[in-house]
Structure 1
Amino acid sequence: MSDNILQRARKTFQLEADALSEVQLLLNDDFKQAVLLIQNGTGRVVFSGIGKSALVAQKIVATFNSTGTPSIFMHAADALHGDLGMVQEADVVIILSKSGYSPEIKALVPLVKNFGNKLIAIVGNTNSYLAQQADLILNTTVSQEACPNNLAPTSSTTAQMVMGDALAACLMDLKGFRDDDFAKFHPGGTLGKKLYLTVADVFPGNDRPLVYENQSLKEVIVEITQKRLGVTAVVNEQKELEGIITDGDLRRMLEKNTDIEGTVARDIMTRSPKTIEAGELAVSALDIMRKNAITQLAVVEGKNYLGIIHIHDLLKEGLI
């Protein structure tokens, strides 16, 4: 029984992957013209559809808005009962439909055309009413749905989704949309924090463990214990970072049975430790920690020691 389940799942993946390969070959000059029409337009992109296509349209709207192309969703049925008023003169209208013959779509299309808006069809039937009325056609015809009965929209809605993603990706390229642009539209959550949260936003909440090079081992232990970060920086008289001492450094020293009388900070510190500038992204601190299998980084500004950022800080911020 379980083998049959996995077999059906794998077949679903394969059917939808095959469908995308088919649709990729259908891309033509209309796709290029659609991208340029949206890019050069002064209005928004209004997406519409009915049923499953409406749900896909809403996802594409979210993708467009998050990547710098202002878009709205208008349900095809609601458009006939007042929502058509949201369409403005300069807007480009994109209607999604598998058949291109849904009653709501057939009623909506002439209204959009009467308004004078450019109409793009993402459609699975290029001989349909929607396709014949559209200014540009993005063909999402699939030979088979992944549904066992070849009925439920599966491969066809996947094709619609990827067509929308392709439009968004091309528009991002044309606009030179970068990481910092992306951060403006994603200020919340883990994604946003990875793009804008800096080390300076995080480390000031910690104590600032610090000893001088000639301070005793006892003073080092007390500093590490009191500041509760498992580490202390070792600095010179100018407060410039010379090294760090971790809990692990202390344990390894004691394992060697070193004569601790007269031992000072400079004798056991790790010289040239891993550091990060306060202005760097917090996610960069996480990358350094992971690559070097460490849990703390000294924060510096040039040679000056500012404090410690701990992996627990990044965990609290949701970066891990």
Structure 2
Amino acid sequence: MNIEASILKTARKTISLERDAIAHLLDLLTADFANAVSLIYNSKGRVIITGIGKSAIIANKIVATLNSTGTPAVFMHAGDAIHGDLGLILEEDVVICISKSGNTPEIKVLVPLIRRSKNKMIAITGNDTSFLAQQADFILNTYVAQEACPNNLAPTTSTTAQLVMGDALAICLLELRGFSSKDFAKYHPGGALGKRLYLRVNDLSSQNEKPEVSPTTSAKNVIVEISEKRLGVTAVVENHKIVGIITDGDLRRMLTKSDAFLHFTAKDIMSSNPKTIDEDAMAVDAMDLMETHSITQLLVEKEGNYAGVIHIQDLIKEGII
């Protein structure tokens, strides 16, 4: 077997093992999962998630997912917790401890301290008879038969199972809270996903020049207007209403058709009934319209009057495309 085939064989085996482990989680779900979700949902506090080693990394990811979907969460490293960070835990917080074995030294020291504070505790563990499981109020079983590591040592399949269980928690809570796309945008104002949900056409078009000519403007002045405004286009406007559009492409095509080009006016060159969009429309809707019609700019209207131009480069700059 050549090296390429060997690599692909290993990759497929790894993916298959992790796929099967995730599928097995379906059989491990019990009423404890539903009760754990209800506990968090009805809690007036936060979710404190702790772990050690690779489980701590997974805990961080679950914290991030919960925070971004409407459930306040804080990461607490299990090692740091027993050296002062226990002060993070407030009276009404719910604690989630993540540990594959549930029997690590840090967990055995930490768990009794949490129980002493009388906070409710959820265990995400692959060993439902472990010290952690016995002390927890609810157990989310993430047992895996085998790690993807050929030595069955490096946390691989087990951490994938932990991550999936955390995602299941987050999505159940999201649905209970009725967390909407608008809520998501509120928590992600700087990200590309958030921008797709809150950025409006006017937010972008208002930053651009506003190229505009009348139907009687000479071809020469049309060229000047397009060149100066640097958007590759100008609106043809009469009584504040859009009556046409002229693009760089329109100018080039007209040049190839007639030697009397400079005697033309905007009305002779323009395309009637151009694609337009209201300034209050979502920027993502502008993107869809451009993609549908294979164009790179749209004329923007406000209450039926010409208001400016939005260009595909505006969308690319904001990360929407």
TM range (shorter): over 0.9
Tell me what 1:79 maps to: 81
Q: How far off is 1:189 after superposition?
A: 3.4
Deviations 1:15-45 (CA, angstroms, capped at 9, x unpaired): 1111100112211211111111111110010
Partner Cα separation in structure 2 for residue 261 and residue 93 of structure 1: 76
Partner Cα separation in structure 2 for residue 213 and residue 155 of structure 1: 68
Please show how residues 110-189 of structure 1 align to structure 2 within 5 Å. 110-189=112-191
Structure 1, gaps ≥5 residues long: none
Tell me what 2:290 maps to: 289
SS in 1 for 2:23: helix
Structure 1 range deviating more: 249-258 or 102-111: 249-258
Tell me what 2:63 maps to: 61
Q: How far off is 1:85 after superposition?
A: 1.6
Tell me what 1:251 maps to: 252
Tell me what 1:278 maps to: 279
TM-score by length of 2: 0.94
Q: How far off is 1:137 after superposition?
A: 0.8
* Runs ≥4 residues deviating over 6 A: none
SS in 2 for 1:174: helix
Partner Cα separation in structure 1 for residue 38 and residue 88 of structure 2: 23
SS in 2 for 1:117: coil
Please show how residues 1-320 of structure 1 align to structure 2 within 5 Å. 1-236=3-238, 238-257=239-258, 260=261, 263-320=264-321
8 Å contact 2:245–2:272 — kept in the other structure?
yes
Q: How far off is 1:61 after superposition?
A: 0.6
Deviations 1:99-154 (CA, angstroms, capped at 9, x unpaired): 11111111111221121111111010111111111111111001111111111110
Q: How far off is 1:261 after superposition?
A: 6.9
- 2:257 aligned partner, one-letter code: K
Structure 2, gaps ≥5 residues long: none
Partner Cα separation in structure 2 for residue 163 and residue 298 of structure 1: 47
Partner Cα separation in structure 2 for residue 112 and residue 76 of structure 1: 11
Q: How far off is 1:266 after superposition?
A: 2.5
SS in 1 for 2:316: helix
Deviations 1:286-312 (CA, angstroms, capped at 9, x unpaired): 222222211111111132001111122
Q: How far off is 1:65 after superposition?
A: 1.0
Q: How far off is 1:281 after superposition?
A: 2.5
- 1:304 aligned partner, one-letter code: N
Q: How far off is 1:244 after superposition?
A: 0.7
- 1:290 aligned partner, one-letter code: E
8 Å contact 2:51–2:78 — kept in the other structure?
yes
TM-score by length of 1: 0.94
